[in-house]
Structure 1
Amino acid sequence: MSETDANTTDVLVIGGGTGGYSTALRAASLGLRVVLAERDLIGGTCLHRGCIPSKAMLHAAELVDGIAEARERWGVKATVDSLDWPALVATRDGIVERNHQGVAGHLRTAGVRVVKGTARLTGPRTVRIEGAGEFTARRGIVLATGSRPRLLPGLAADGRRVVTSDDALFAAGLPASVLVLGGGAIGVEYASFHRSMGAEVTLVEAAGRLLPLEDEDVGRHLARGLKKRGITVRTGSTLTGTELLADGVRATVRTPKGEELVVGAERLLVAVGRAPVTDGLDLAAAGLAADERGFVAPADWSRLETSVPGIHVVGDLLPPPSLGLAHASFAEGLLVAETLAGLPSRAVDYATVPRVTYSSPQTASVGLTEAEARARGLDIKVNTMPLAATAKGMVHGQGGMVKVIAAADGAGGDGGLPWAWGSPRSNEVESGGEVESSGKTGAVLGVHLVGPQVSEMIAESQLIVGWDAEPADVAQHIHAHPTLSEAVGETFLTLAGRGLHQH
């Protein structure tokens, strides 16, 4: 085989994170020749610096919290004598490495050629990979270069006193105090982890509530749970100044009342969002450009194809309505691979992608918030049930809630969910190129959970929202007693007019 033949492929994927490697695996399984270029490690941020290592650490935090609960609530006289940080880190890194080797093995088995090196576009079908030469992609190129943490102007991370979400877990040891800047999912998770490990934690969020993109009641219940654990939560507050000290930071925080508070901490953890990575990609060489926020927007959301035919985008490079979540990236990768293989494409339904925060308490949501539904002028019914109203909720003792938003009778089955980027939902049909509604009414528009292990409870609600089920459809199914999930069932029973314990 000549060098030219060796560097000609069907699909070339730039970036080996969740979106990139899922595209590569699916494309290869469909018989396409695939080259995957990755300049760092296969698995990307999620596997090596984000989702997996952070959830491993949060599990360790749950164990510590469980010992405290056993002592304080249940009379089990147990204490944490000490924390072997190197052992904890070794377990975390072992989990990450096993996942890394697993993904690399899947790629090898699938026949994907992984090329280590920085890749840049040289045309609409050509890519140069550092150290490996120029490659031609017959079917298409997939951009999956991911994102990096945002920093505030004038504030540089040094990996010790000021850290980002990418390096927070890898800083030396555990600090005695942490100031977390940013009350989104990442900031909340890190605040929760450090508090479990004994740190004094202050959480600062500029918006008026935590998780500002989620339902207002989610943010309220979450803040209540975090404050109960001893975390200082300051919403509607901004960082106005930072002074680096030999052993930490001294920050000035402006409250909603205009007060200037001085907060000292060993570590400032900045979690104010992530920015797409396009530097060095040379988009212009292929006739592309990033938007003002740095995203590469598709011209066709049903195919995730850019304005240059054959160049597709997945993962964190996509602007909203994409969610920047690993599990959404998997779906995007499947869609793009199947599109490049010539299979019928169907847009990713972002409205039914679950959103989870793995703090203590956890949050999990799918579909519209109450505010979003009302902003669309929808006639809705809302029911909220505290988890503490159930026996299992009392056992856990963490509070929390189930909140369901449904279209009122006659409001219309699709309820204005933000799904319609070119393809129909499952209960609708295409006719003459137009989408005709099935006419269902009273569909569930959104479900929002706060409490222990709700990340494992959201799958049911994802199906409920995704299949346009009505409360009456759910109410006929029996939830096990005693469980936390029966609160979900009870909430739907009440909306269906069959309330048992809730009136």
Structure 2
Amino acid sequence: MDETDVIVIGGGTGGYSTALRAAALGLEVVLAERDLIGGTCLHRGCIPSKAMLHAAELVDGIAEARERWGVKASLDAVDWSALTATRDDIVDRNHRGVAGALARAGVRVVRGTAALTGPRSVRVTAATAAQGAPVDWTARRGIVVATGSRPRTLPGLTPDGRHIVTSDDALFAPGLPASVLVLGGGAIGVEYASLHRSMGARVTLVEAADRLLPLEDADVGRHLTRGLKRRGIEVLTGARLETAEPHEAGVHATVRTSRGEAHTLDVERLLMAVGRAPVTDGLDLAAAGLTTDERGFLAPADWSRLETAVPGIHIVGDLLPPPSLGLAHASFAEGLLVAETLAGRTPRPVDYDAVPRVTYSSPQTASVGLSETAARARAGDDAVVVNTMPLTAVAKGMVHGQGGMVKVVAERISASGSTEPPAATAGRILGVHLVGPHVSEMIAESQLIVGWDAEPADVAQHIHPHPTLSEAVGETYLTLAGRGLHQH
């Protein structure tokens, strides 16, 4: 039985960030991965999808140039093979970069499926006997479980990689479909609906909740829906798939709304984006004295250390239940926390309220902190003040012409029961919500504001450049601080 300081099971964002940080702190690390280093995010999710969404943005730009700005441009065709080749090159370069970083850090990467054999031991089995016999490892400091998640599917719908696809294989299905039914109005479903619409498909987006992005602020869902409908996407909320019949050319589906309306659709592709499920198969959690909860998550006993009830076994990434967010950048933070814990340090726990959440559709959405509803539930209606400003109220927002908003939710420091923001009524910022072009690149400022418990008066002293979309953010804080110029 071989021995090391730390064994990491899973080489996705949470796993490899844990391994890199632990190695940097002088620990000997073994990383077991049965597929590809980088995991879902790098190979099937975040990176390839954002590459495709950038291409979609370029396509949309041609249409805007022609229809809005008088630039006589036209789109001849989309060369799918060239587009996917560029996407795959970006993924490959990132993959080689991560693998190189692990090698330089001295992390030993072991290929194979890892199973727990005790609270401090793991067996790694290669895919075939020709690749070697199983190897047993023990960990002096601890084990980190970071096996990620897979797409959930719906009963009776079997993905075939062509007409019925999940979010993991949608990017790799052959060609561009002429019509798509997207099931699920969370971030993944919205992004894929946006992408396919940009590429010319007729798109229907179905969400069972009463609004898109149901976990976000209600105004975010409202502005997003408005933007998607303006682009020609049919949005059905409060709706569920009733029937789906695959055939040679696609899928015949019926969707029924909560009002009883039936929508019959014939589409070339049905895309399931109905959430993700933790991956624990093959881990043999029971051998280490661990069990999952009823949803399949592996919950920590100590959130400050992300440590299970079995001392020395830690969790990062998509295996964690809420308040963890199942986001790659949250996994990075979790990996740093666990690595530093295993090295004997006492890092700060992850502040999940201060983790930004982004949807890379057109329009984009970006949020950090509490929604208005959550803030009122936590602090009370009279303890919250809200200010909202449309992006079209600033010149750069008019230039982009996509609508959108800035919404700030703050503590009330005034005795007034009014929801209007008179002079200096707002204290600590509880949440910031953005909808519009490029807001994914604007949310970092708000992350610092929420994470550092800043107040509008703190932010209002800092000057936002003109003309930019960010000055709408600055103006929102000026108003809350009682110094508004264009908003009162």
Q: Which residue type is aligned with residue 222 of structure 1?
A: L
Q: Which 4+ stretches in 1 moved above 2 angstroms?
A: none
Q: Which residue type is aligned with residue 438 of structure 2?
A: Q
Q: Which residue type is aligned with residue 392 of structure 1?
A: K
Deviation at residue 19 of structure 1 after TM alignment: 0.1
Q: Counterpart in 2 of 1:329?
A: 331
Q: Does 1:401 align with 2:386?
A: no
Q: Does 1:482 align with 2:453?
A: no
> Could you tell me the TM-score, scaled by structure 1's length?
0.92
Q: Which residue type is aligned with residue 288 of structure 1?
A: L
CA–CA distance in structure 2, aligned partners of residues 260 and 457 of structure 1? 40
CA–CA distance in structure 1, aligned partners of residues 112 and 311 of structure 2? 25
Which whole-Å deviations, capped at 9, do the CAs of 1:227-251 have from their partners, x for residues lacking one?
Answer: 0000000000010111111100011
Which whole-Å deviations, capped at 9, do the CAs of 1:49-101 have from their partners, x for residues lacking one?
Answer: 00000000000000000000000000000011011100000000000000000
Q: Counterpart in 2 of 1:449?
A: 434
CA–CA distance in structure 1, aligned partners of residues 261 and 234 of structure 2? 16
Deviation at residue 344 of structure 1 after TM alignment: 1.2
Q: Counterpart in 2 of 1:369?
A: 371
CA–CA distance in structure 2, aligned partners of residues 8 and 376 of structure 1? 48
Q: Counterpart in 2 of 1:420?
A: none
Indicate conservation of the 8 Å contact 1:147/1:316, yes or no. yes
CA–CA distance in structure 2, aligned partners of residues 405 and 338 of structure 1? 33
Q: Which residue type is aligned with residue 83 of structure 2?
A: L
What are structure 2's unaligned runs of at least 5 residues?
Answer: 127-133, 416-425
CA–CA distance in structure 1, aligned partners of residues 95 and 36 of structure 2? 8
Deviation at residue 410 of structure 1 after TM alignment: 6.6
Q: Counterpart in 1 of 2:482?
A: 497
Q: Counterpart in 2 of 1:69?
A: 64
Deviation at residue 473 of structure 1 after TM alignment: 0.8
Which whole-Å deviations, capped at 9, do the CAs of 1:424-462 have from their partners, x for residues lacking one?
Answer: xxxxxxxxxxxxxxxxx8100000000000000000000
Indicate conservation of the 8 Å contact 1:410/1:442, yes or no. no
Q: Counterpart in 1 of 2:125?
A: 130
The equivalences for 1:93-492 within 5 A come to 93-131=88-126, 132-378=134-380, 379-409=383-413, 442-492=427-477
CA–CA distance in structure 1, aligned partners of residues 115 and 379 of structure 2? 46
What are structure 1's unaligned runs of at least 5 residues?
Answer: 412-440
Higher mean displacement: 128-137 or 106-115? 128-137
Q: Which residue type is aligned with residue 255 of structure 2?
A: V
SS where residue 122 of structure 1 aligns?
strand
CA–CA distance in structure 2, aligned partners of residues 261 and 213 of structure 1? 25
CA–CA distance in structure 2, aligned partners of residues 133 and 461 of structure 1? 47
Which whole-Å deviations, capped at 9, do the CAs of 1:391-416 have from their partners, x for residues lacking one?
Answer: 000000000000000000179xxxxx
Higher mean displacement: 152-161 or 283-292? 152-161
SS where residue 74 of structure 1 aligns?
coil
Q: 1:48 aligns with which of 43, 46, 70?
A: 43
CA–CA distance in structure 1, aligned partners of residues 156 and 309 of structure 2? 36
Q: Counterpart in 2 of 1:429?
A: none
CA–CA distance in structure 2, aligned partners of residues 155 and 410 of structure 1? 54
Deviation at residue 133 of structure 1 after TM alignment: 1.0
Q: Counterpart in 2 of 1:83?
A: 78
Deviation at residue 113 of structure 1 after TM alignment: 0.2
Which whole-Å deviations, capped at 9, do the CAs of 1:254-290 have from their partners, x for residues lacking one?
Answer: 1121012111110000000000000110000000001
Q: Counterpart in 2 of 1:422?
A: none
SS where residue 449 of structure 1 aligns?
strand
CA–CA distance in structure 2, aligned partners of residues 358 and 483 of structure 1? 19
Deviation at residue 376 of structure 1 after TM alignment: 1.6
CA–CA distance in structure 1, aligned partners of residues 58 and 307 of structure 2? 45
CA–CA distance in structure 1, aligned partners of residues 53 and 113 of structure 2? 33
CA–CA distance in structure 1, aligned partners of residues 218 and 374 of structure 2? 11
Across the aligned residues of Structure 1 and Structure 2, the Cα RMSD in angstroms comes to: 1.1
SS where residue 24 of structure 1 aligns?
helix
SS where residue 118 of structure 2 aligns?
coil
